[in-house]
């Protein structure tokens, strides 16, 4: 169980950072990236438990925990990227501005605009800006999700990630069969101990 926790948390952090990187590059495929991240996290939790024959309910709890860590890393990374972009813009416009002055100015703007600052202000600004769902190489502008719809989408995206991690844990017996070494006759060599 301990190995599942360590593997799950390690993969959760890496998956969250990968999500931030893909988002930053503009290659964040809606629902596909969280689905893939959830599968990675679920496999990281489930595979070490196969040999130990750990019971499923604790593995599900670990999958939920690690999926939540993935989302936390993604959103924290997105917030830090947002702040760094803001600081860079302020310092380009006013070269004498310090980082502290730029972040204080960001907080003032967020409070003025949304009534909150920090991470909550970032979310409010992100939701107000919205996101667009469109087809690749399409000439149409796509579907725009703003404000409440953006929040609803983010909840769905989180549920997809965590749900996929849980499904991977529930399918660990299938993974165990796939991981067993094969004999020359094509059958399993020996049961996993």
- CA-nearest of 59, 49, 63 to 163 is 63
Residues across the chain:
193
DSSP annotation of 29 reads -
What lies within 8 Å, CB to CB, of 14 at 6+ separation is none
Let me know if residue 52 belongs to a domain: yes
For residue 32, being part of any structural domain is answered with yes
Judge whether 46 lies within some domain. yes
Total structural domains within the chain = 1
Residue 191 covered by a domain: no
Q: Are 38 and 64 in contact (CB under 8 A)?
A: no
Domain of residue 174 covers: 2-179
pLDDT for position 138 = 55
Dist. CA 159–CA 67, nearest whole Å: 9
| HEC per residue, 130-193 | CEEECCCCCCCCCEEECCHHHHHHHHHHHHHHHHHHHHHHHCHHHHHHHHCCECCCCCECCCCC
User: Which candidate, 75, 65, 80, places its Cα nearest to that of 10?
Assistant: 65
Instruction: Report, in angstroms and rounded to the nearest whole number, the Rg of the chain calculated over CA atoms.
Output: 21
99-114 and 56-93 helices, crossing angle to 10°: 110
Residue 25 has what DSSP assignment? H
Q: What is the pTM of this model?
A: 0.81
Whether residue 190 is contained in a domain is answered as no
Query: Is 151 within the bounds of a domain?
Result: yes
- Inside any domain, residue 169: yes
Q: What is the pLDDT along the chain (193 residues), one digit of tens a residue?
A: 788 888 889 999 999 999 999 988 888 777 899 999 999 999 888 887 666 677 788 889 999 999 999 999 999 999 999 999 989 998 888 888 888 888 889 999 999 998 898 999 999 988 888 777 766 555 566 677 788 888 998 999 999 999 999 999 888 766 666 666 666 565 555 555 4
Q: In this structure, is residue 185 part of a structural domain? A: no
85 half-sphere exposure, CB direction, 13 A CA radius: 8
Spatial separation of the C-alpha atoms in residues 11 and 33, rounded to whole Å: 14
pLDDT of res. 190? 56
131 strand-pairing partners: 145
Specify the pLDDT at position 193.
Answer: 47
Which two structure tokens, joined as six digits, stand for 135? 């087809």
Q: Are 106 and 93 in contact (CB under 8 A)?
A: no
């Amino acid at each position: 169980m301990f190995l599942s926790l360590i593997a799950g948390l390690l993969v959760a952090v890496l998956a969250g950072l990968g999500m931030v990187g893909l988002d930053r590059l503009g290659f964040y495929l809606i629902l596909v990236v969280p689905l893939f991240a959830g599968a990675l996290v679920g496999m990281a939790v489930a595979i070490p438990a196969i040999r130990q024959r750990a019971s499923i309910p604790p593995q599900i709890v670990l999958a939920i925990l690690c999926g939540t860590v993935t989302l936390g890393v993604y959103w924290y990374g997105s917030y830090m990227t947002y702040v760094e972009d803001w600081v860079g813009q302020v310092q380009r416009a006013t070269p004498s501005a310090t980082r502290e002055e730029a972040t204080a100015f960001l907080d003032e703007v967020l409070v003025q605009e949304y009534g909150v600052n920090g991470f909550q202000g970032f979310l409010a600004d992100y939701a107000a800006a919205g996101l667009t769902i469109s087809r690749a190489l399409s000439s149409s502008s796509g579907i725009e999700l703003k404000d409440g719809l953006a929040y609803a989408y983010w909840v769905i995206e989180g549920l997809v990630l965590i749900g996929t991690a849980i499904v991977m844990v529930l399918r660990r017996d299938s993974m165990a069969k796939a991981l067993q070494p094969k004999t020359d006759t094509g059958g399993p060599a020996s049961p996993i101990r």
